[in-house]
Amino acid sequence: MRTFDTIIRGGTVATASDTFAADLGIRDGRIAALGHDLGEAAEVIDASGRLVLPGGIDSHVHFAQPSGPGIVMADGFETGTRSAAFGGNTTVMPFCVQQKGQTLREALKGYHAEAQGRCHVDVSFHLVIADPTEGVLGQELPALVEDGYTSFKVFMTYEGMKLSDLEMLNVMSVARETGALVMVHAENDDAIRFLIDRLERQGDIAPKFHATSRPIPVEREATHRAISLAEIVDVPVMIVHVSNGEAMEEIRRAQSRGLKVYGETCPQYLVLTAADLEGLNMEGAKLVCSPPPRDAASQEACWRGIETGVVSTFSSDHCPFRYDDPQGKLNPRGRTSFRWVPNGIPGVAARLPILFSEGVSKGRIDLNRFVALSSTNHAKTYGLYPRKGTIAIGSDADVAIWDPERQVTLTHSMLGDGADYTPYEGIDIKGWPVLTMVRGTTVMRDGELVGGPDHGRHLARERSALARPRGQV
């Protein structure tokens, strides 16, 4: 008798806490058994010599996001989730952005329509609050948290998105009442505007000056302010895309004072620097993202954050624009000043190979911390655990099988996204995801998609384990 739909046999399983040899028995999309001699199955996947890990969860990606007049993001849900599958991810969390004057329900309706039938992996939306009206704060947000949209991002910079300190306090206050988690993009907008104006007056308009216009104090000050606002409201907060040691130190200090402050970093802050833009002229636009990559000391500080637990989630901040495209990095205004180059770089497929190779293969972190940073902590932080983010009986059979010895030189064509470049071109990688399985169905095998873009589902989420209202366990 066949007991399982699928057995993954002969691999080494790793979770955020343990590494052990076991076969996985999968039934009805869930993990039904962990052990040996599990018997028969309709499908048996040989994982000998391979690692069997919880599928990656990337809790910070941008797909199909309105990006300003004349600019089009390079990935919608079809190519974005395809690329996610190539990189060993089984769930991604993009941002549903509220436009000024729009209700959150209107924004969600449009965003769900974008995603419908176009997802290779599971998705779950954060909300970006750009217009915190009384209706948003008093009615929509509390109702949407109940509906499973349990995290909001707020921006301290970007025209049309940035909130004042008062508005941030109001959003944080709703998060505290409802048990939602607030994610903060921490950069001081006035300082950036001042620096951009000054650079333009000097004629410093090439893309490399993007990094000059957003120096470390811009991020450090806003990080400190965001943490202070969260402390005033007494609410947990996630500082996203932390790029340097001074911002990291603000988070570490808050954590050591017992505040619920969490940190995220991304591959661009581990393997790129501002110096990579030197001498590139317009090609520097390929690396324009905010905060910008910094220097070797900042890279080390981000690694220290990872190694010491100041950083709990490692995300891609995948925000793709084509380079050689009038609707992308080389839009007509972008050629006149870095001010108009759309911010963001692709990375959803490269995120985990970079962390595995630079972290595990080079001995900086162990496999269990890799699993925590790439999957488990995202699930816990954003209310998906233990359905997602681990290998345990009853959890969704979301699995990535890795060949820890596979050596690859990264090139854009292997990443499957809609951009026309990768900022990580030419990086040597050791360790590669060879199979991605979402709820028991293989969606990627050996760099080929298996099945169509209608397998992924939108996930309503529980409240974050980090942000439950007082009195609730």
Contacts with ligand URP by CB under 6 A lie at 62, 185, 241, 289-290, 317, 319, 343-344
User: What's the min distance (Å) between Cβ of 395 and ligand URP?
Assistant: 29
CA distance 89 to 201: 44
Binding-site ranges for Zn ion (CB under 5 A) = 185, 317
User: What's the min distance (Å) between Cβ of 183 and Zn ion?
Assistant: 8
86 Cβ neighbours under 8 A, 6+ residues apart: 349, 414, 415, 416, 433, 436, 444, 447
32 within 8 A of 393, measured Cβ to Cβ: yes
User: What's the min distance (Å) between Cβ of 264 and ligand URP?
Assistant: 10
Nearer to Zn ion, 185 or 252 (CB): 185
Out of Zn ion, ligand URP, none, what residue 126 binds, judged by CB under 5 to 8 A for its kind, is none
* DSSP symbols for 405-440: EEEEE--GGGT--SSS--TTTT-EEEEEEEEEEETT
Out of Zn ion, ligand URP, none, what residue 246 binds, judged by CB under 5 to 8 A for its kind, is none
User: What's the min distance (Å) between Cβ of 318 and Zn ion?
Assistant: 8
Q: CA dihedral in degrees (136, 139, 142, 146; nearest 10)?
A: -120
Out of Zn ion, ligand URP, none, what residue 181 binds, judged by CB under 5 to 8 A for its kind, is none
User: What's the min distance (Å) between Cβ of 302 and ligand URP?
Assistant: 15
Nearer to ligand URP, 418 or 431 (CB): 418
130 Cβ neighbours under 8 A, 6+ residues apart: 97, 98, 99, 100, 155, 160, 161, 163
User: What's the min distance (Å) between Cβ of 211 and ligand URP?
Assistant: 12
Q: CA dihedral in degrees (213, 214, 220, 225; nearest 10)?
A: 90
User: What's the min distance (Å) between Cβ of 69 and ligand URP?
Assistant: 17
Nearer to ligand URP, 50 or 162 (CB): 162
Give me the amino acid identity at 30: R
Residues linked to residue 311 through DSSP beta bridges, in sequence order: 263
3-state secondary structure of 356: helix
User: What's the min distance (Å) between Cβ of 158 and ligand URP?
Assistant: 7
Tokens of 80: 């974005």
Q: Ramachandran region of residue 139, left (φ > 0), alpha (ψ -120 to 50) or beta? A: alpha
Out of ligand URP, Zn ion, none, what residue 343 binds, judged by CB under 5 to 8 A for its kind, is ligand URP
Nearer to ligand URP, 263 or 344 (CB): 344
| Cα-to-chain-centroid distance, residue 327 | 24
Nearer to ligand URP, 210 or 387 (CB): 210
Query: How long a stretch of residues is the chain?
Result: 473
Nearest residue to the partner Zn ion, using Cβ: 185
Nearer to ligand URP, 291 or 431 (CB): 291
Give me the amino acid identity at 398: D
Out of Zn ion, ligand URP, none, what residue 118 binds, judged by CB under 5 to 8 A for its kind, is none
Nearer to ligand URP, 247 or 367 (CB): 247
402 within 8 A of 87, measured Cβ to Cβ: no
Out of ligand URP, Zn ion, none, what residue 289 binds, judged by CB under 5 to 8 A for its kind, is ligand URP
Nearer to ligand URP, 32 or 154 (CB): 154
